[in-house]
Amino acid sequence: MEQVNQLKEKGNAALSSGDFEGAVKFYSDAIKLDPNNHVLYSNRSAAHAKAENYEAALEDANKTVLLNPSWSKGYSRKGSALAYLGRHEEAIAVYEKGLELEPGNQQLVTGLAEVRKHAEASKSKVTEVFEKLRANPQTREWLKDPEYVKIVEKLAVNPFDKKLLEGNVSDPRIISAISVILGIELGTPMDVDPPASEPEPPTPKPKKEEPPKPKYEDVPENRRKALQEKDLGNECYKKKDFDSAIKHYQQAIEYDSTDITFYTNMAAVYFEQKEYEKCIKECERAIDIGRENRADFKLIAKAFTRIGNAYKKMEQWKLAKTYFEKSMSEHRTPEIKTLLSEVERRIAEEEKKAYIDPVKSEQEKELGNEYFKKGDYSTAVKHYTEAIKRNPDEAKLYSNRAACYTKLAAFDLGLKDCEQCCKLDPKFIKGWIRKGKILQGMQQPSKALTAYQKALELDPSNAEALEGYRACSTQLNSNPEEVRKRAMADPEVQQILSDPAMRCILEQMQQDPHALQDHLRNPDIAAKIHKLLESGLIAIH
């Protein structure tokens, strides 16, 4: 059971640090030892979800609920996994079941509200997809097939459903549906912002050269004038003549108020002018116009992205996250995913800063100390971890948690805490001593020796550091003759031994061991003595 707790704590630590694969491995190892532990499956479900492996997250959440049907957290895990998979109605039912068991549970309440919101958005998206499919003569006929309709409904909610795609990827009807869902027009694509020149379809070479047709000749007059104004606006935008660009885009809207790109282009100007509120307002108009006129999903996504970027510039991270997520729901791109990850990181940083409270940190530390004294090291780790979250720059907290990890034989996690402790406070001697002990436990005596040496530089008479140093020196110097030969071949050792003052000091140390402490106060002499200790030529008894 103790080994299971150790693996679980390692998994929790890996999950907290963002190492999701490592967390899954630790939880899996723990499950092998305790296959009926519902908490382990719940934790592994969380790790799978963080790694965006939602099918595996759902599988573990189902196992959690099966093992403990009265535990509300299992329903929260299952509802979350179903929501990520786009199975919103099932997720709603699961959250409601959890709330029957524990009414008022905030995690379940929040999850239910969120999934209901996404369910509404998905219904709107499904309606929009079917409208586009009905507008195309070819896809309109396919909608007479009930099976095809069911598949499209599922793909509209989750276009990356692996199971659906694996069975239907060769079906041209499904490929067409995905094209619509992802915002790839079936007919002539609309102009985008900034305008891109589109390749002309190949045409037979005329016998006689004809003069090029005037641009936009084949469109109605009001549309032609609108597009010409937009082009003028784009030229002014490139030259950073923003006031003129705005005038041209406004004139384009007067000629044709149905084109979403006129509004998004104007929003781009406001963004460059740092008029972020105006940029947001213009993008909101663009989205409304786009919805009314069935604009390409990619153009709607672009408007949402621009709003997100405006809020990002204003450092309103949560609003930025909301609009980047809306953009992703319209059209997923790696660029938007990167922006979303960035603002999520900033939100986490802000929440981390807001969470800092030295007084509560001290309270958690005291609780950790109490559980450590009782020998309940796993619970002590939880309290020390909470104390660190409340005061992440306090070196001693990492040292305390490292002591727990040492007791749990989680040396790798303990070493990581010791390194952070020594980084935050290089003069905290206990951090170096604890690091030395952990390295000894990991059978790395040479590295442990260096840690003890750092401790002795801070306090040459520290008994723990001296004892650790001697033990490591003895371990390294198991063959004295070989050690002596190796040391005498070292030019630095030869130089120290040829120094008359150092020979005098070494003789004095032999006659009076207490003289060592006086000599170690001199940094130059201390460095030379430590070099001789490392080489194994002398030892402290």
Alpha carbon distances (Å) from 232 to 213, 228, 252, 262, 306: 19, 6, 10, 12, 22
pLDDT tens track for 221-255: 899 999 999 999 999 999 999 999 999 999 999 99
Question: In degrees rounded to 5, what are phi and psi of residue 459?
Answer: -150, 95
- C-beta of residue 86 within 8 angstroms of C-beta of residue 161: yes
Q: Measured between alpha carbons, how far is 387 from 366 in angstroms, rounded to an integer?
A: 9
pLDDT at 536 over 90: no
Q: Measured between alpha carbons, how far is 92 from 115 in angstroms, rounded to an integer?
A: 7
pLDDT of residue 362: 95
User: SS3 helix, strand, coil % of the chain, rounded to 5?
Assistant: 75, 0, 25
Count CB neighbours of 396 within 10 A.
17
Higher-pLDDT residue of 139 and 248 is: 248
Share of residues in the chain with pLDDT > 70 (%)? 84
Q: Which of 40-49, 327-336, 413-422 has the lowest mean pLDDT?
A: 327-336
pLDDT at 526 over 90: no
Angle 92-98-104 from CA coordinates, rounded to 5°: 100
User: Which ranges of 274-357 would DSSP assign to H, the alpha helix?
Assistant: 276-292, 297-313, 317-330, 334-355
- C-beta of residue 453 within 8 angstroms of C-beta of residue 433: no
Kindly write down the DSSP assignment for every residue of 58-123, as one continuous string: HHHHHHHHHH-TT-HHHHHHHHHHHHHTT-HHHHHHHHHHHHHHSTT-HHHHHHHHHHHHHHHHHH
Higher-pLDDT residue of 367 and 221 is: 367
Q: Which of 4-13, 38-47, 426-435 has the lowest mean pLDDT?
A: 4-13
Confidence of residue 193 (pLDDT cuts 50, 70, 90): very low
- Structure-token pair, residue 367: 């609780």
Instruction: Give helix then strand counts, H and E, for the chain.
Output: 30, 0
Residue 47's nearest CA partner among 90, 87, 7, 107 is 7
What angle separates helix 523-535 from helix 463-476, to the nearest 10 degrees?
Answer: 40
pLDDT at 1 over 50: yes
- Structure-token pair, residue 209: 């050269």
Q: Which of 207-211, 243-247, 350-354 has the lowest mean pLDDT?
A: 207-211
Q: Measured between alpha carbons, how far is 230 from 477 in angstroms, rounded to an integer?
A: 81
Give Cα 211 distance to the centre of its chain. Answer: 57
Alpha carbon distances (Å) from 145 to 173, 462, 470: 11, 83, 82
Residue 370 has, within 13 A of its CA and on its CB side, a CA count of 7
Q: Measured between alpha carbons, how far is 11 from 26 in angstroms, rounded to an integer?
A: 5
Give Cα 25 distance to the centre of its chain. Answer: 18
pLDDT tens track for 487-510: 777 788 888 888 888 888 888 877
The alpha-carbon radius of gyration of the chain (Å, integer) is 34
Confidence of residue 198 (pLDDT cuts 50, 70, 90): very low
Q: For residue 364, give the 3-state DSSP assignment.
A: helix
Q: Measured between alpha carbons, how far is 482 from 472 in angstroms, rounded to an integer?
A: 17
pLDDT at 188 over 50: no
- The average confidence (pLDDT) of the chain is 84
Q: For residue 53, give the 3-state DSSP assignment.
A: coil
Q: Measured between alpha carbons, how far is 362 from 356 in angstroms, rounded to an integer?
A: 11
User: Which ranges of 356-476 would DSSP assign to H, the alpha helix?
Assistant: 358-374, 377-390, 395-407, 411-424, 429-441, 445-458, 463-476
pLDDT at 475 over 80: no
H/E element, 221: helix 221-238
- Structure-token pair, residue 264: 């998004």
pLDDT of residue 248: 95
Between the CA atoms of 226, 227, 230 and 236, what dihedral angle is there, to the nearest 10 degrees?
Answer: -120
Confidence of residue 463 (pLDDT cuts 50, 70, 90): very high
Place of tokens 């609780």: 367
Q: For residue 263, give the 3-state DSSP assignment.
A: helix
pLDDT of residue 519: 77
- Structure-token pair, residue 434: 């604890």
Q: Residue 392, preceding bond cis, omega within 30 degrees?
A: no
Average pLDDT over residues 80-108: 87
Confidence of residue 201 (pLDDT cuts 50, 70, 90): low
Give Cα 28 distance to the centre of its chain. Answer: 22
pLDDT tens track for 373-405: 998 988 999 999 999 999 999 999 999 999 999
Residue 366's nearest CA partner among 337, 335, 390, 332 is 390
pLDDT tens track for 296-325: 899 999 999 999 999 999 999 999 999 999
